[in-house]
Structure 1
Amino acid sequence: MRAVLHSERARLTALYGTLLLLAGGGLVALVNVLLRKGLGGRVAGAVTTVMPGIRLDADGTVPPHEPARKLPPGTTPAPAEVAQWQATKDLSDAVSRATLQELTLVSLIALALFAVLSAWLAWWMAGRVLRPVAVITETARRLSGVNLHERIALQAPPGELKRLADTFDGMLDRMEDLVGAQRRFAANAAHELRTPLAVQRAAAEIGLAGEPEPAKVARIRERLIAVADSSEHMVESLLLLAVSEEGLESARPVDVAELAAAELAAVREEAAAAGVDAVGDFGPLTVSGDGALLGHLVRNLLANAVRHNRAGGRLRVSTAPGGVLTVSNTGPPIEPSEVPGLLEPFRRRAERRHTAGEGAGLGLSIVASIARAHGAGLRAEANPAPDGGLTIRVRFRPSAGS
């Protein structure tokens, strides 16, 4: 009972009921005030008009009624006329008092009934208005990690509460996507980190069992070092991904065009060894951000473009004054439906083989995370055949002077 009395519905009922009661009471008071001012005169005029002084003729009959009329100026009324006026006034005052008393009694009874009806209507209206809030509250209370798929789906006319419910549903969509992504990330990270550990254990237990030859020990050593390097690279990538997800601690102007040119120069040798022609077209582009993270963004894009290219292919990187960094490469044909998945952690188009130079599947997800940290939009598109490959555009918010 106390919870009901302290609920928003009870407060709204009290507010609406009080307002309606005040409006009704004010209307009754106004009617009574207006009637008190003019009722006596109107009743007196009506009585005087329809019932002048009654006189009997000599034969005992009542003469025809004559309407009351004003006396000429300067005329003194006769005693009979004064008596007639006094009788009319007494009658009109009695009628006015009786009318006002009856009107006051009826008004008070009507006001009491109106108060009860107002309270009921206010309670009903408050419940109807707050019903969507109750639905939202119950849904939020019921949700957990196992039923994030549920939605409010409020069926109501457009309004503030409808927009609130739709906004809550949109928030649930984002939460479900986030929780799903975190679960996949945790499962994939565990798998990716467990595999190299299993390889190292197998190499140590099987390859170094007994008294192996020095050549075999050297091969096992190289294998263990390669797996350790791969694991170290993966851990560094995971740490970088975590750092980029936290956002920027500080920002300063960064010349992305100069940064992209330096990263392209660093990757030219690797691209040439893979038979890839790397070219650049650098227009002025300065953004506000973290230079180290932006360097990783460009570096990952270029490394991905070289790694997933083909002999005789090309790699093109460009910056434009509009705030756009573009990296395009040829390579195996990619279905447009596959592109969004490539931006998620540990997503590859082929199974991992744990060979030298193989990535951890975090490159593009790190790029997407760094772009989000800088408030930039990232768009990846599959290039049409026969070129294949990807074109990735990162649209920054240019800083002053870019």
Structure 2
Amino acid sequence: MRLTLSYTLFTLAAGTLSLAVIYVGMKYVPNYPLTSSNPRYRSDAPSRQQILTTLLVAGGYALALMTAVGLVGGWFIAGRVLRPLKDLTGAARRAADGALGHRVALTGPRDEFTELADAFDEMLDRLQHSFEARQRFAANASHELRTPLAITRTMLQVAAADPDGQDWGRLVTRLQDTNQRGIEITEALLALAELDESPPELTPTDLATATREALATVRAEATAHGIAITATLDPAPTTGNPVLLRQAALNLLQNALRHNHPTGGTVTLTTGPRPSDPSHVRLTVTNTGPSLTPETVATLTEPFLRARGRTAATDPTRRGHGLGLTIVSAVTTAHHGTLHLIPNPDGGLHVTLDLPALTGPRQA
């Protein structure tokens, strides 16, 4: 209605201005009397005042007609213009009711409305993806946390039913392992929650130093599994949180070791400036292992999803909690970097973590 009235008022104002210009022009130009050129001929021509009066009356009727046409035409034009907004409103109401799968999919020429509809559809895509990911996260987290508790309860129930037939040393060891798994999952979930709620404190640091510390932590595990690690750790100055960067490097190395060949595998580790862009530094971790499909790799950063699905490895020394790469992805996002996971043609995974390089005097 507001658009219709605006169209009508604009039409009325334009018509009134046109009538005023014509009226003024006829009143003052020309300025000679309307008489016959022959003085003996008496003309019946109307006077100037009669012409002006007739002009005003005719103009008034014309303006009334233009107003009516403007109201009707403006109503239809406004309805046609605002029709895409009705579709957007309907989609917004469906989304508010929880139906995130609906899309506007506005067709027609490219204009402000189609751009708005496309932006709205893109927002719904992200919301749906985020909502579904959180639903999977909640379901998987409850399952992962319930598993060690259920195992502990079962072992305690068996021990209570037959206390004399138990190997208490073995039972205590199994309980400690199960309890440790629950602690690791809980700590990983807390780390993810902290990254989501508040940004970390960033200071000038060296990605190579954090990676070197993580490498020292996994040396014993690599030796135990017969996996050779080749490291080229060139300086990679950046602005970041040393603790989080060390944790990200540690998770990548543990992932490369635990998802490798049973024995005789390799891991290649490098740090330094990104070859194609010195404004970024790069950490790469490449490992041998089973073949992976691009579809499988695309889900590895989701919580509790492993290369073999949601099933943990049977070997306790190779068992993870399914949050390692999820934490790496969260740390990368908190540092304004990018994480890329690419399956190797011969098996295994190639991971690149790029962060903005440290600029300014401190870099030297």
Q: Same fold (TM over 0.5)?
A: yes
Q: Give the match for residue 224 of structure 2.
A: 273
Count of residues in Structure 1 that have an aligned counterpart in Structure 2: 351
CA distance in 2, matches of 1:354, 1:236: 22
* Offset from partner CA, 1:273-309 (integer Å, 9 cap, x none): 2111112222332222222221211110011111112
Q: Give the match for residue 324 of structure 2.
A: 363
Shift of 1:142: 2.0
Aligned mate of 2:61, from 102, 109, 132: 109
With over 3 angstroms needed to count, the CA separation of the structure-2 counterparts of 1:344 and 1:255, relative to structure 1, is same
Shift of 1:96: 2.3
- 8 Å Cα contact 1:308/1:331 also seen in 2: yes
Does residue 1:31 correspond to 2:4, yes or no?
A: no
Shift of 1:40: 5.3
Aligned mate of 1:193, from 133, 137, 145: 145
Unaligned runs of 5+ in 1: 1-9, 55-86
* Offset from partner CA, 1:166-193 (integer Å, 9 cap, x none): 1000111111111111111111111111
Does residue 1:381 correspond to 2:342, yes or no?
A: yes
Shift of 1:39: 4.7
Does residue 1:294 correspond to 2:252, yes or no?
A: no
Does residue 1:263 correspond to 2:214, yes or no?
A: yes
With over 3 angstroms needed to count, the CA separation of the structure-2 counterparts of 1:381 and 1:353, relative to structure 1, is closer
Unaligned runs of 5+ in 2: 275-280
* Offset from partner CA, 1:110-159 (integer Å, 9 cap, x none): 01111121222222222222221121112111225752111111123211
Aligned mate of 2:303, from 332, 342, 345: 345
- 8 Å Cα contact 2:313/2:320 also seen in 1: no
Which range moves more in the overlay, 23-32 or 335-344?
A: 335-344
Which range moves more in the overlay, 25-34 or 329-338?
A: 329-338
Mark the structure with the bigger radius of gyration: 1
Give 3-state SS (helix, strand or coil) of 2:161's partner.
coil
Q: Give the match for residue 57 of structure 1.
A: none
* Offset from partner CA, 1:244-276 (integer Å, 9 cap, x none): 223514322221111112211222222122111
- The TM-score, its normalising length taken from structure 1, stands at 0.82
Map 1:76-225; keep pairs closer than 5 Å. Answer: 94-144=46-96, 147-213=99-165, 216-225=167-176
- The TM-score, its normalising length taken from structure 2, stands at 0.90
Give 3-state SS (helix, strand or coil) of 1:321's partner.
strand
Aligned mate of 1:53, from 40, 63, 67: 40
Aligned mate of 1:391, from 350, 357, 362: 350
Which range moves more in the overlay, 333-342 or 261-270?
A: 261-270
| Partner AA of 1:389 in structure 2 | G
CA distance in 2, matches of 1:109, 1:307: 89
Shift of 1:372: 1.3
Aligned mate of 1:22, from 13, 18, 27: 13
